[in-house]
């Protein structure tokens, strides 16, 4: 066969729903020589990653580490470890990823009660309270904190209290929210959480930070049946990420190098400062969009700072605009999904990509394209 030339990717400005741009120091970290996944230096780095993840999640949970896999692996990790066949769970659905969580939970044998809101709107505490009245023994209540498909941010503190009062665990998807807006596991009494590296942490995709509270850990360790997934079984993974260092799988060493550096950068910036930067650039984009006659269509008062769902004006070819942004300006933005397909553009300002100059660049490009 013909051997192709070495791959040389184009230089893009990644302003879609993920992955986001990666800091040069993260890329340099990933170019470092490999060591073994049980090498003393790597084991030391694993401990530093766990400590930094606790600081990012604002938790003291011992069971906090990165699962080898993308954010969807983190979703499956939480469901597989907490659900036993026949368990009843309540899941908020207001976009693609709530829908996916229902699918994953059902595959783990759960009886799922869906709490649905229109795409682009939030799940309310009253909706969860009403659902809990219909479920005899809920194992957990689960929500997508920041719905990437719609740009809606659901407040969770009150919902967490309602779940706890019903003796249910509280599971939270923070794939797009972590390190881009407040996520406070211990203050909000979140029992199980998963995230991803490729959004506001600005690390390439491939790891899913997870954390289990002592309550959730007890549920996982005192199961009557084996965890459905061998690979994602926390009872096995804890022996590798814990003090025993029992071989489980060959961890993606280079990805952990990258995550280590990405977490260092986030903590060096400071969480409050990082959240503020995302908020300021969201406000700047929103103002600039208004000047172009465009608006963010997710629910007012609950719009994500880091992922913006922008309504496509009548008569405008949504796909053509995205293609032109990529071809003429090397800017990637995202399309709508599900019922929002063809109706919105998704502009991400996440992590390394959340910069004033990037806001100005994409607004200027949109202005020129829409004029044509």
Q: Tens digit of pLDDT for each residue in 132-189?
A: 999 999 999 999 999 999 999 999 999 999 999 999 999 999 999 999 999 999 999 9
Q: What is the CA radius of gyration of the chain?
A: 21
| Alpha carbon distances (Å) from 35 to 28, 38, 39, 147, 193 | 16, 8, 6, 37, 29
Structural tokens at position 37: 């996944």
Q: Do residues 292 and 251 share a domain?
A: no
Within a domain: 39: yes
What is the pLDDT confidence band of residue 122, given thresholds at 50, 70 and 90? Answer: very high
Non-local (6+) Cβ contacts of 155 within 8 A are 122, 302
Final residue belonging to a domain, choices 231, 251, 267 = 267
Q: What is the mean pLDDT of the chain?
A: 97
Q: Do residues 228 and 278 share a domain?
A: no
Kindly report the backbone phi and psi dihedral angles of residue 200, in degrees, each rounded to the nearest multiple of 5, phi listed first: -80, -10
Q: Do residues 310 and 261 share a domain?
A: no
Q: Do residues 286 and 323 share a domain?
A: yes
328 has a pLDDT exceeding 90: yes
Q: Do residues 90 and 45 share a domain?
A: yes
pLDDT (tens digit per residue) in 340-369: 999 999 999 999 999 999 999 999 999 999
In sequence order, the β-bridge partners of residue 308 are 347
- Report H helices in 223-346: 234-241, 253-269, 271-291, 318-329
- 178 burial class (0-12, 13-18, 19+ CB within 10 angstroms)? buried
Q: Do residues 312 and 197 share a domain?
A: no
Cα 83 to Cα 311: distance, rounded to the nearest angstrom: 38
pLDDT (tens digit per residue) in 233-291: 999 999 999 888 898 999 999 999 999 999 999 999 999 999 999 999 999 999 999 99
228 has a pLDDT exceeding 90: yes
* DSSP strand pairing (88-93 vs 138-144): parallel
Kindly report the backbone phi and psi dihedral angles of residue 156, in degrees, each rounded to the nearest multiple of 5, phi listed first: -120, -10
* Range(s) of the domain holding residue 304: 13-17+271-371
Q: How far is CA 150 from the centre of its chain?
A: 13
- What is the secondary structure of 78-110 as a DSSP string? HHHHH--TT-EEEEEESSHHHHHHHHHHHHTT-
Final residue belonging to a domain, choices 246, 267, 288 = 267
Q: Do residues 153 and 277 share a domain?
A: no
Q: Mean pLDDT, to the nearest integer, of 126-132?
A: 98
Q: Mean pLDDT, to the nearest integer, of 101-111?
A: 98
- List the CATH number of the domain containing 287: 3.90.1150.10
A 10 A CB-CB count for 367 gives: 13
Within a domain: 7: no
Final residue belonging to a domain, choices 218, 247, 267 = 267
Cα 193 to Cα 202: distance, rounded to the nearest angstrom: 19
Contact 169, 216 (CB under 8 A): yes
Q: Mean pLDDT, to the nearest integer, of 304-320?
A: 97
Structural tokens at position 331: 């800017």
Q: Do residues 290 and 153 share a domain?
A: no
Non-local (6+) Cβ contacts of 244 within 8 A are none
Within a domain: 4: no
Q: Do residues 240 and 141 share a domain?
A: yes
A 10 A CB-CB count for 290 gives: 11
372 has a pLDDT exceeding 90: no
| Alpha carbon distances (Å) from 91 to 133, 143, 190 | 14, 6, 15
Non-local (6+) Cβ contacts of 356 within 8 A are 280, 281, 284
- List the CATH number of the domain containing 103: 3.40.640.10
Within a domain: 3: no
pLDDT (tens digit per residue) in 6-26: 999 999 999 999 999 999 999
Closest of 157, 237, 112 to residue 172, by C-alpha: 157
Q: Do residues 86 and 229 share a domain?
A: yes
Structural tokens at position 246: 């029992």
Q: How many domains does the chain have?
A: 2
pLDDT (tens digit per residue) in 73-99: 999 999 999 999 999 999 999 999 999
Q: Do residues 239 and 279 share a domain?
A: no
Within a domain: 358: yes
The predicted pLDDT at position 236 comes to: 96
The predicted pLDDT at position 243 comes to: 85
């Amino acid at each position: 066969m013909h051997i192709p030339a070495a791959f040389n990717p184009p230089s893009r400005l990644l302003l879609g729903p993920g992955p986001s741009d990666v800091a040069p120091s993260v890329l340099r970290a990933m170019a470092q020589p490999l060591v073994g996944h049980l090498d003393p230096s790597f084991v030391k780095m694993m401990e530093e990653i766990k400590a930094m993840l606790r600081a990012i999640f604002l938790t003291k949970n011992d069971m906090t580490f990165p699962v080898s896999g993308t954010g969807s692996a983190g979703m499956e990790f939480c469901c597989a470890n907490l659900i036993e066949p026949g368990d009843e769970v309540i899941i908020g659905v207001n976009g693609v990823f709530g829908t996916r969580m229902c699918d994953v939970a059902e595959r783990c044998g759960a009886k799922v009660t869906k709490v649905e809101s229109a795409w682009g709107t939030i799940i309310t505490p009253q909706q969860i309270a009403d659902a809990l009245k219909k479920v005899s023994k809920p194992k957990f209540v689960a929500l997508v904190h920041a719905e990437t498909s719609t740009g809606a941010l659901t407040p969770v503190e009150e919902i967490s209290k309602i779940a706890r009062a019903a003796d249910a665990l509280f599971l939270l998807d923070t794939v797009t929210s972590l390190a881009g807006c407040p996520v406070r596991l211990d203050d909000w009494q979140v029992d199980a959480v998963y995230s991803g590296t490729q959004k506001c942490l600005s690390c390439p995709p491939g790891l899913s930070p997870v954390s289990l509270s002592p309550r959730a850990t007890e549920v996982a360790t005192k199961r009557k049946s084996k965890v459905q997934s061998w690979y994602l079984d926390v009872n096995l993974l804890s022996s590798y990420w814990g003090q025993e260092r029992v071989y489980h799988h060959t961890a993606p060493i280079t990805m952990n190098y990258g995550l280590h550096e990405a977490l260092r950068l986030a903590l060096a910036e400071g969480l409050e400062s990082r959240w503020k930067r995302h908020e300021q650039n969201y406000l700047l984009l929103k103002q600039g969009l208004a000047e172009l006659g465009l608006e963010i269509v997710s629910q007012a008062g609950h719009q994500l700072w880091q992922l913006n769902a922008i309504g496509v004006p009548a008569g405008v070819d949504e796909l053509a605009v995205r293609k032109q942004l990529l071809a003429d300006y090397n800017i990637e933005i995202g399309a709508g999904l599900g019922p929002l397909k063809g109706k919105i553009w998704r502009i991400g300002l996440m992590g390394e990509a959340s910069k004033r100059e990037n806001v100005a660049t994409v607004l200027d490009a949109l202005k020129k394209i829409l004029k044509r």
